[in-house]
């Protein structure tokens, strides 16, 4: 049997690039698609170095129906992993139309192309953001869903669209994967998270403080109902996340059944715990300043990760120390990201 051929949209991004490598290592054939709206073409050189082969790649906007048609017509595609989307919560409240246009428009264009070409196997990047402010911890997949910002709405709508599509045509096999807080980088230090401008997320900010690009970390709130008062999240190593996509593809291609699953470790860490673990891993101080709570933030979020283990046979293997060590190696080797 020939290896399944998988299209990755948003393939040059943070999670896409790590998943690309994981799928190649798992024996899949991969074709990447990206418009570099939030990534750099340099990622392709790095992937070539890491994999030893030239990546098969199409530069296109996933909303471009003609470009998609050309990709699907060139050689049959067995499955798609759809990462391409905008993902900054704050920006989404300032530019809601751009978020709906890209995240919903991209999903519609992609699923229409897939339908036309009878490719009905899809992994969708969803997010723990669909749980809104969770009533119970750890969060199970059957918890109530809600959105607290336009970005979150695009993920919830994306899930709804796919659930409707699957109900209308049960031939669709889909995995809706709800990622918790992806951090870390490939151990080579060649690929990692490369945010543009001031990072929104905790780990990229911490690494930029450690490398001297920023003076201190602002800790948003120390009066939450958590053990040390700072926010608690389920940080998951991007390599574990990448492996989760390979597991989901095996499941879909084999079982042809839909699945909605959390991808998290199942345990939470506070902001201060992350800072301490990072200082230990890097040997660098990370000065902190306490600041007011960030609007829209919740006290704590961590996954019940049992379903993915039961159905996909997947579980995380990297702890917080490894996440910090790998984030640090990436930042140290690329102090200005891929642009510098
Ligand atoms: P990223 O921005 O690093 O990667 C997304 C990639 O998609 C980028 O390379 C960007 O250039 C590309 N892209 C965006 N719009 C496109 C379009 N219209 N056409 C083609 N390419 C386009 O983000 P990431 O962290 O790798 O996230 C990947 C997916 O996972 C996103 O759907 C995101 O919403 C989801 N997700 C991310 C997180 C997180 O914290 N990183 C958490 C949960 C879910
Ligand atoms: C983590 C903790 C902050 C920065 C976001 C999205 C979510 C998902 C993952 C895509 C919180 C604190 C942060 C800083 C801080 N993305 N913090 N100082 O908010 O859990 O999730 O990314 O789907 O949808 O909302 O992640 O990394 O921004 O914050 O104190 O400079 O770190 O308050 O407690 P978050 P984060």
What tens digit of pLDDT does each residue of 162-186 get?
999 999 999 999 999 999 999 999 9
- The Å distance, Cα 137 to ligand 2 centre, comes to 17
Question: Which tens digit of pLDDT belongs to each residue from 274-288?
Answer: 999 999 999 999 999
Cβ neighbors of 337 (< 8 A, separation 6 or more) are 40, 194, 195
Dist CA 210 CA 48 (whole Å): 29
Across the range 113-119, mean pLDDT stands at 98
pLDDT (mean) for 127-152: 97
Tell me the pTM.
0.98
Angle in degrees, 0-180, between the axes of helices 14-25 and 238-255, rounded to the nearest 10: 60
Domain ranges of the chain: 5-183+236-265+308-316
Residues with a catalytic annotation lie at 151
218 lines ligand 2 (CB under 6 A): yes
CATH superfamily of 5-183+236-265+308-316: NAD(P)-binding Rossmann-like Domain (3.40.50.720)
Task: Report which ligand 1 atom has the smallest distance to the Cα of 151.
Answer: 34
Three-state DSSP state, 269: strand
| Confidence class for position 339, pLDDT limits 50, 70, 90 | confident
What is the percent of the chain with per-residue pLDDT over 70, rounded to a whole number?
99
Cross-strand bridge partners of residue 144: none
- The C-alpha atoms of residue 241 and residue 166 are separated, in whole angstroms, by 24
φ, ψ dihedrals at 274, nearest 5°: -65, -45
pLDDT digits 0-9 by tens, 64-90 = 999 999 999 999 999 999 999 999 999
Percent of the chain at pLDDT exceeding 90: 98
Peptide bond into 138 cis (omega under 30): yes
Average pLDDT, the chain: 97
The H or E element that residue 327 is part of is helix 320-333
Asked if the model's pLDDT at residue 125 lies above 80, the reply is yes
Q: Give the integer Cα–Cα distance in Å for 83 and 334.
A: 24
Q: What is the arithmetic mean of pLDDT over 12-23?
A: 98
Lining residues, ligand 1, CB within 6 Å = 9-10, 12-16, 34-39, 61-63, 83-85, 87, 102, 106, 125, 127, 179, 182
Interstrand relation of 217-220 and 121-127 (parallel, antiparallel or unpaired) = unpaired
Question: Which residues of the chain form beta strands (DSSP E)?
Answer: 5-9, 29-34, 56-59, 79-82, 121-127, 173-179, 181-183, 217-220, 232-233, 235-237, 259-263, 269-270, 288-291, 300-301
Given ligand 2 and candidates 177, 195, 225, 233, which is best to mutate, with the most ligand atoms within 8 Å of its CB?
Answer: 233
pLDDT at 1 over 90: no
Question: What pLDDT is recorded for position 189?
Answer: 98
Q: Inform me whether the pLDDT recorded for 306 exceeds 70.
A: yes
Length of the chain: 340
Q: Above 70 in pLDDT, residue 340? A: no
Give the DSSP H or E segment for 276.
helix 271-282
In the reported structure, the alpha carbon of residue 201 is separated from the centroid of ligand 1 by a whole-number distance in angstroms of 14
The string of DSSP letters for 140-187 reads PTTS--B-SSHHHHHHHHHHHHHHHHHHH-TT-EEEEEEE-EEE---T
Residue 263 near residue 179 (C-beta atoms within 8 A): yes
- Atom 26 in ligand 2: which residue has the minimum CA distance? 201
pLDDT over 70 (residue 31): yes
pLDDT digit string, tens, across residues 195-230:
999 999 999 999 999 999 999 999 999 999 999 999
């Amino acid at each position: 049997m020939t290896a399944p051929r998988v299209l990755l949209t948003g393939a040059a991004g943070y999670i896409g690039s790590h998943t690309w490598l994981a799928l190649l290592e798992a024996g899949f054939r991969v074709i990447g698609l990206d418009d570099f709206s939030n990534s750099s073409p340099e990622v392709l050189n790095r992937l070539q170095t890491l994999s030893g082969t030239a990546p098969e790649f199409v530069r296109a906007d996933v909303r471009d129906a003609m470009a998609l048609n050309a990709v699907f017509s060139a050689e049959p595609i067995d499955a798609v992993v759809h990462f391409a989307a905008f993902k900054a919560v704050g920006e989404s409240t300032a530019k809601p139309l751009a978020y709906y246009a890209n995240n919903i428009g991209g999903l519609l264009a992609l699923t229409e192309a897939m339908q036309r070409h009878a490719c009905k196997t899809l992994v969708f990047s969803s997010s723990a953001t669909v749980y809104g402010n969770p009533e119970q911890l750890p969060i199970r997949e059957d918890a109530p869903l809600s959105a607290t910002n336009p970005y979150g709405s695009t993920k919830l709508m994306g899930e709804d669209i796919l659930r409707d599509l699957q109900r209308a045509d049960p031939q669709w096999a889909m995995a809706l994967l709800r990622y918790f807080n992806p951090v870390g980088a490939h151990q080579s230090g060649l690929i990692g998270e490369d945010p543009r401008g001031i990072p929104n997320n905790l780990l990229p900010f911490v690494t930029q403080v450690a490398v001297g690009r920023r003076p201190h970390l602002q800790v948003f709130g120390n009066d939450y109902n958590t053990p040390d008062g700072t926010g608690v999240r389920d940080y998951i190593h991007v390599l574990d996340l990448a492996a989760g996509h390979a597991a989901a593809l095996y499941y879909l291609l084999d079982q042809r059944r839909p699945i909605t699953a959390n991808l998290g470790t199942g345990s939470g860490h506070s902001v201060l715990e992350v800072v301490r673990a990072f200082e230990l891993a890097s040997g660098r101080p990370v000065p902190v300043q306490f600041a007011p709570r960030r609007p829209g933030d919740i006290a704590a979020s961590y996954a019940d990760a049992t379903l993915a283990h039961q159905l996909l046979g997947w579980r995380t293997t990297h702890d917080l120390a490894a996440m910090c060590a790998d984030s640090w190696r990436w930042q140290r080797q690329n102090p200005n990201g891929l642009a510098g």
